[in-house]
Amino acid sequence: MNLYLRYFDSEILVSNADEAIDFLSSIDEIGMNPELEADIREYAASDVLYPKRYKIRPRVYFIIIKTEAATMLDFKEKRALHSSEDRGRDRAASPALMKLNEEREGWYEGTMDFKRVLMVPGTGKFQYRDTHFVAQVKATSGLDCYNRIVEHLRQRVDERSQFPSAKGKNFNFCYLGMAKPVKS
């Protein structure tokens, strides 16, 4: 894995931590010290793929990015930021997203906060109002629960109303089981 380093207009693509430290040592403003050198070596040896930013002084940083790119041109054209295996690992679904798609037939309670379009009495103008909606539906997954709730609401509210993403924080669901929930 190669390292791309940049400090203002100075940039380089190197193949190891020693070359990166040599490059940074050549820039007086950075002030290479043993702690910084050890941190760069640790970052280069780690499995961490996200870029690392080092503060030089207020609002002045240099960055290091790990890349599979063999040349600066490849890096600039984003041809090889990470291998396909790394991309697959990065795209692994979060536990919440996996739970959303998990097939489990039964009753769900879905909670949604959405922007509902309502007419203001007296003025005849329309405005968005935050609306909290809770429903118990029979569904096969959390995503099916979301789709059924949105379908129900679209038939009953103004078409300009805005619904949240099923993956967002404004939609939650809870699996209630196979038996129909008792109203309290």
Looking at residue 70, what is its pLDDT? 87
> Which residues on neighbouring strands pair with residue 13, listed in sequence order?
4
Checking if the pLDDT of 94 tops 80, the result is no
Token readout for 125 is: 């103008």
Looking at residue 101, what is its pLDDT? 87
> For tokens 């196979």, what's the residue?
178
Q: Which helix (H) or strand (E) holds 2?
A: strand 2-7
* pLDDT, tens digit, 9 for 90 and up, residues 113-126: 999 999 999 898 99
Mean pLDDT calculated for residue range 164-182: 88
Note whether 75 and 69 are within 8 A (CB). Answer: yes
> Which residues on neighbouring strands pair with residue 177, listed in sequence order?
107
> Which residues on neighbouring strands pair with residue 6, listed in sequence order?
11, 63
pTM for this predicted structure: 0.49
